[in-house]
């Protein structure tokens, strides 16, 4: 009897799933040919790729509900996707699953300038919200560097941050309500138009849940008034330790800047030829400290921050004299990730958070790791939040370099945990940091995370195998990975 190959079995399954989806979605909203699905094979973490079986692009909430009904019936895993700018593989497809893109749900449904809120669909780009409400002198505060492209649905799923989140909060602090379709097809609203909602705070549970608990179909965001004026200080330091300590000193002085970011020498040398912002390329560290508010408030805060920075040992200080100059000072920081492509064929952007007062020692630790792994690393990050973004440079064409970059990244995250921090700040866990979750959390904590997932997604169809590692996975990682002479999960079998 003729044997059926695994390719033939996959092709039959793909045809059946695509056909079932075309019964509930318009023909042009279901893609399954390789040339159409290839653009969805990865997110911003391009080192990991997987072609999806089918891509769906529903045009409204009813079509999302219908798509989920088909997936339940045929037992097909679902990977939600916004713009695919995520850096932890959260939107990376699963071979036998669909990608459910919200790109076509891209309307701003309502702007209420008096209540200072906007209701938007999940595929609306972050920056598009601020552009749409600009005429009311309002804006949406969380500003990821990817804001020109990333969607509010992705921001909710990752609890995204940005330069202004130190003062104005992360996504979780700027979203009032989300409308969600659960995998069972139920529509639920979490949060409310008011500042609080009755019952358990499931909105906070949902924000940052990385597409594992439901599909966001509508988001109500808070808007805030544009400040009268904003100015930024650019301060140089001849030593990263002094720069790191200056960050802690600014906050300790009771100042919450509108932004407090740091670039090391590798970063400023990387971006300066690209943006020509006037960075001091001989400085070991540059701090950018923004103040916003009324003219009087900004003048006073700039003077206070200048004094703290001088006392911390700044070797040069420049204050923006116009908004054009302020944006020029920020341009290098905002373009640092793409600029890495100028000096390295590939780079790996890590994301961990540490207590501010440990900044200097962690930066020194990363320098030692550069020697250990034989790879360069640039540091450009949200210093005020203690949120590091080491950019590890490597060449994927050189055998072993990617593996070394991965090990380098994992060791940075371990150092973050050791000094009392976390393995992620704003990019999420996805597939990238799933092993590092075993370092951060105990077995009981991981069990609790799975229990929350199961409460929303009993069938485990939504973005399975992302963000929460199985105990089996941790045991495998633990076998390879003995920390300070101790196994992370000593009670689990070691193969």
Ligand X SMILES: Cc1cc2nc3c(=O)[nH]c(=O)nc-3n(C[C@H](O)[C@H](O)[C@H](O)COP(=O)(O)OP(=O)(O)OC[C@H]3O[C@@H](n4cnc5c(N)ncnc54)[C@H](O)[C@@H]3O)c2cc1C
Give contact residues for ligand X (rule: CB under 6 A): 43-44, 79-87, 90-91, 102, 122, 144-146, 150-151, 153-155, 157-158, 160-162, 210-211, 215-216, 337, 426-427, 463
Q: How far is the CB of 380 from ligand X (least distance, A)?
A: 10
Question: In this complex, which beta carbon is closest to ligand X, that of residue 82 or of residue 191?
Answer: 82
Query: How far apart are CB 171 and ligand X at their closest, in Å?
Result: 8
Listed residue (55, 86, 72, 57) closest to 155, CA to CA: 86
Task: Report in angstroms how near the CB of residue 337 gets to ligand X at its nearest.
Answer: 4
Q: Which of 257, 258, 355 is nearest to 309 (CA)?
A: 257
Q: Which is nearer to ligand X, 87 or 319 (CB)?
A: 87
What is the spatial order of strands in the sheet that 346-349 belongs to? 316-319, 229-237, 285-293, 259-264, 377-381, 390-394, 346-349
Starting at the earlier edge strand, list the strands of the sheet with 175-181.
108-112, 117-120, 215-222, 175-181, 187-191
Q: Which one, 249 or 387, has the nearer CB to ligand X?
A: 387
The torsion of the CA quartet 330, 333, 334, 335, rounded to 10 degrees, works out to 120
Residue 216 or 314: which CB sits closer to ligand X?
Answer: 216
C-beta of 283: minimal distance to ligand X in Å?
Answer: 23
Cβ contact 191:177 at 8 Å = yes
- Please state, in angstroms and rounded to a whole number, the distance separating the CA atoms of residues 439 and 436: 5
Least distance to ligand X, CB of residue 44, Å: 4
Min dist. Cβ of residue 71 to ligand X (A): 14
For the bound state, the minimum distance from the C-beta of residue 228 to ligand X, rounded and expressed in Å, comes to 25
Query: Could you tell me the smallest distance in angstroms from the CB atom of residue 9 to ligand X?
Result: 27
Residue 459's Cα: distance from chain center in Å? 26
CB of 200 to ligand X, least distance (A): 20
Nearer to ligand X, 145 or 379 (CB): 145
| Residues 67 and 25 sit within 8 Å (Cβ to Cβ) | yes
Chain centroid to Cα 65, Å, comes to 27
C-alpha 89: how far from its chain's center?
10
Q: Is 120 helix (H, G, I), strand (E, B) or coil?
A: strand
- Is 196:170 a contact under the CB 8 Å cutoff? no
Torsion of CA 478, 480, 486, 492, to 10 degrees: 40
Provide CB contacts within 8 A for 104, sequence distance 6+: 29, 57, 58, 59, 123
Name which of 20 and 170 has its Cβ closer to ligand X: 170
Query: Contact 228/307 with Cβ under 8 angstroms?
Result: no
Nearer to ligand X, 387 or 440 (CB): 387
219 or 308: CB nearest ligand X: 219
From CA 495, how far away is CA 475, in angstroms rounded? 9
Q: Rounded to the nearest 10 degrees, what angle do helices 359-373 and 401-418 cross at?
A: 160
Indicate the residue among 100 and 240 with the shorter CB distance to ligand X. 100
In the bound state with ligand X, the residue whose beta carbon lies nearer, of 391 and 446, is 391
- Write down the H helix ranges in 23-59: 34-37
CB 43 to ligand X: min, Å: 4
Closest CA to 260 of 332, 167, 173, 351: 167
Residue with smaller CB distance to ligand X, 144 or 478: 144
CB of 172 to ligand X, least distance (A): 12
């Amino acid at each position: 009897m003729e044997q059926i190959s695994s390719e033939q079995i996959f092709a039959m399954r793909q045809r059946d799933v695509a056909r079932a989806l075309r019964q509930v979605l318009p023909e042009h909203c279901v893609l399954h040919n390789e040339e159409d699905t290839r653009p969805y094979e990865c997110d911003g973490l391009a080192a990991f790729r997987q072609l999806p079986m089918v891509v769906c692009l529903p045009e409204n909430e009813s079509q999302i509900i219908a798509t989920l009904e088909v997936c339940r019936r045929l037992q097909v895993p679902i990977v939600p996707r916004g713009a695919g700018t995520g850096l932890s593989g959260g939107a990376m497809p699963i071979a036998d699953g669909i990608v459910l893109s919200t790109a076509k749900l891209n309307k701003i449904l309502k702007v209420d300038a008096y209540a200072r809120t906007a209701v938007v669909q999940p595929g609306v780009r972050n920056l598009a919200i601020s552009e749409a409400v600009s005429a009311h002198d309002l804006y949406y505060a969380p500003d990821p560097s990817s804001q020109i492209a990333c969607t509010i649905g992705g921001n909710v799923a990752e609890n995204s941050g940005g330069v202004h989140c130190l003062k104005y909060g992360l996504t979780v602090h700027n979203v009032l309500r989300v409308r969600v379709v659960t995998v069972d097809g139920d529509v639920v609203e979490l949060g409310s138009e008011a500042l609080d909602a009755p019952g358990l705070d499931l909105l906070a549970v949902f924000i940052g849940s990385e597409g594992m608990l439901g599909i966001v179909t509508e988001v109500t965001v808070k808007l805030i008034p544009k400040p009268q004026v904003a100015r930024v200080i650019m301060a140089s330091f001849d030593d990263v330790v002094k720069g790191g300590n200056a960050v802690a000193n600014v906050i300790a002085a009771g100042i919450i800047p509108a932004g407090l970011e740091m670039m090391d020498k590798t970063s400023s040398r990387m971006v300066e030829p690209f943006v020509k912002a006037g960075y001091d390329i001989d400085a070991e560290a540059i701090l950018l400290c923004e103040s916003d508010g009324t003219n009087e408030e900004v003048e006073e805060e700039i003077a206070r921050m200048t004094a703290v920075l001088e006392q911390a040992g700044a070797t040069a200080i420049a204050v923006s004299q116009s908004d054009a100059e302020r944006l020029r000072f920020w341009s290098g920081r905002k373009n640092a990730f793409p600029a890495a492509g100028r000096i390295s064929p590939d780079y790996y952007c890590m994301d961990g958070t540490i207590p501010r007062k440990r900044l200097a020692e962690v930066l020194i630790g990363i320098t030692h790791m550069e020697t250990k792994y034989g790879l360069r690393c640039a540091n450009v990050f949200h210093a005020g939040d203690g949120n590091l973004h080491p950019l590890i440079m490597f060449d994927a064409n050189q055998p072993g370099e990617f593996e070394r970059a991965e090990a380098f990244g994992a060791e940075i995250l371990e150092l973050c945990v050791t000094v009392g921090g976390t393995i992620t700040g704003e990019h999420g866990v996805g597939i990238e940091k799933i092993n590092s979750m075993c370092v951060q959390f105990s077995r009981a904590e991981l069990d609790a995370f799975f229990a929350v997932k199961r409460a929303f997604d009993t069938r485990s169809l939504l973005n399975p195998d992302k963000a929460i590692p199985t105990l089996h996975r941790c045991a495998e990682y633990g076998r390879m990975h003995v920390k300070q002479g101790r196994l992370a999960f000593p009670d689990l079998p070691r193969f």
